[in-house]
Structure 1
Amino acid sequence: MSLGYEQRLWNNRIALYHRQLSFTAVNGTGQDLLFTWTGVSVTLDGGFVGAMEYQIVYDSRPSDQALTTDTTLLLKLGYQWQ
């Protein structure tokens, strides 16, 4: 299942967003996977875009000695072609 939300503010220069993907195994293992991305992006001058994003990855049945949840905070800089 996939879901996404985006809200643009301040003349479309700031975007708040959340995206999510989830999977459930149909082979009877009971494994669930969840990936989420939540963040804010800002359009900068000259076509550059900056963002801060928080990612969560959840695996209900990870491999041996691995945690079920992994979190990452990202600071991103990119370029948007116009």
Structure 2
Amino acid sequence: MASLKLLFSLLVLTSVLSIQASYPCFEGNGVNVLESKKVNLSLYYETLCPSCASFIVNELAAKLFDPEGDPITS
């Protein structure tokens, strides 16, 4: 059983490393990362959850509309 877990772990590790090695890097490919100035934000939350409402009002809105922060939502 232990050898089966070891074999599975090695298979997963090999898969992750091969995917990462084949993933194209942004550097040197002519991709301008700062090209987009705005982002789209989709928020899915439970409407009756008090913690969700508190997070949206106190944390998220404060970060999005902070005049000192990045103007990504202007």
The structure whose residues are more often strand, as a share, is: 1
The structure whose residues are more often helix, as a share, is: 2
TM-score by length of 2: 0.24
TM-score by length of 1: 0.22
| Larger RCO (alpha carbons 8 Å, 6+ apart) | 2
Query: Over alpha carbons, which structure has the higher Rg?
Result: 2
